[in-house]
Amino acid sequence: MTFNRSSAACFSGYRPKKFNYADPAMLENISVKLAASIFLMIDKGYNTFLFGGAPGFDILAARAVNYAKAVKKDIHLVCVLPYSDFHLSNEFDDFWRRQYLKIIPLYYNIITQNEQYHRSCYMDRNKYMIDHSSQLICLFNGTKGGTYNTIEYAKSKDVAVVNLLNHQI
């Protein structure tokens, strides 16, 4: 799949184990900020959005892009999976697996980084998204882990980073 990096943005954020998505006020706050960020990116000429397919922030971001697609038709949602059958992993409880399955028909394309799970497959996926984007929209509270590593990689590649928890990085 080919697309223009300068008009592509990607997402990185926490899974449910690291962030309380069950708090309705927090969930609404994140959803509003996600939608506003996506529409701002669209207004700047972005038309491709890459997400990692994981429970939590990734799925919320994909749903927000789908909402934007209802208003701005020429928007593409690309799912970049760390490995084949990722959605069958134990990372997904029943709720998040149902949410994931609802957004599958919305993808413009699916890119799978690895056939099987291996230790660095998540970072492979995150690097792919950064290498093919000029903007990272993230949910980051300072906790070290995958989102932290993705932000650091984005900075090393001069990819702009917007943190929805504080609007800057």
Q: What is the largest CA-CA distance in the chain?
A: 39
In a domain, 27, yes or no: yes
pLDDT in tens, the chain (169 residues): 678 999 999 999 999 888 888 888 888 889 899 999 999 999 999 999 999 999 999 999 999 999 898 888 889 999 999 999 888 888 888 888 888 888 877 777 888 999 999 999 999 999 999 999 999 999 999 889 999 999 999 999 999 999 998 865 4
Pick left, alpha or beta for residue 56 (phi over 0 → left; psi -120 to 50 → alpha; otherwise beta): left
Here the CATH number for the domain that contains residue 23 is 3.40.50.450
Q: Show Cβ contacts of residue 135 under 8 Å, excluding neighbours closer than 6 positions.
A: 8, 9, 10, 41, 46, 159, 160, 161, 162
Domain that holds residue 130: 5-163
For the chain, what is the domain count?
Answer: 1
Report whether 145 contacts 125 (CB < 8 A): no
